[in-house]
Amino acid sequence: DAKTTQPNSMESNEEEPVHLPCNHSTISGTDYIHWYRQLPSQGPEYVIHGLTSNVNNRMASLAIAEDRKSSTLILHRATLRDAAVYYCILNLEGSNYKLTFGKGTLLTVNP
């Protein structure tokens, strides 16, 4: 499986934008980039996913580099509720259905 690299932790202030980076230099042309997050004491929660183009939804934006070797999850205005572990996951086309979680980035949001 192609691997992803994320910082172990990041810190942000409430109501400020947060940019969570993910490197995936061995990504193949058909890998989708998924982001999930896990709030304390809860199951993982889907955030967003994309293939080549930047994507927006009500939770976040996903910016994908032109060469697709990296991506950035953008939380436009962090709230205390956004404090969680964020996982960047590559989902291989057709070859498997599992989500392979790495260690993720622990986001701390300061009031």
> Which residues in this chain contact another protein in the complex, by CB under 8 A?
32, 34, 38, 42-46, 49, 87, 91-94, 96-103
Smaller CB distance to another protein: residue 12 or 84?
84
Q: At closest approach, how far in Å is the CB of 13 from another protein?
A: 28
In the complex, least distance from residue 46 CB atom to another protein, rounded to whole angstroms = 4
Query: Which of residues 12 and 34 has its CB atom nearest to another protein in the complex?
Result: 34
State phi, psi for 25 to the nearest 5 degrees. -70, -20
Nearest distance in Å: CB 102, another protein: 7
Q: Which residues contact 5 (CB under 8 A, 6 or more apart)?
A: 22, 23, 24, 102
Nearer to another protein, 12 or 33 (CB): 33
- Minimal CA–CA distance to 1: which of 105, 102, 106, 103? 102
- Distance between CA atoms of 68 and 29, rounded to whole angstroms? 8
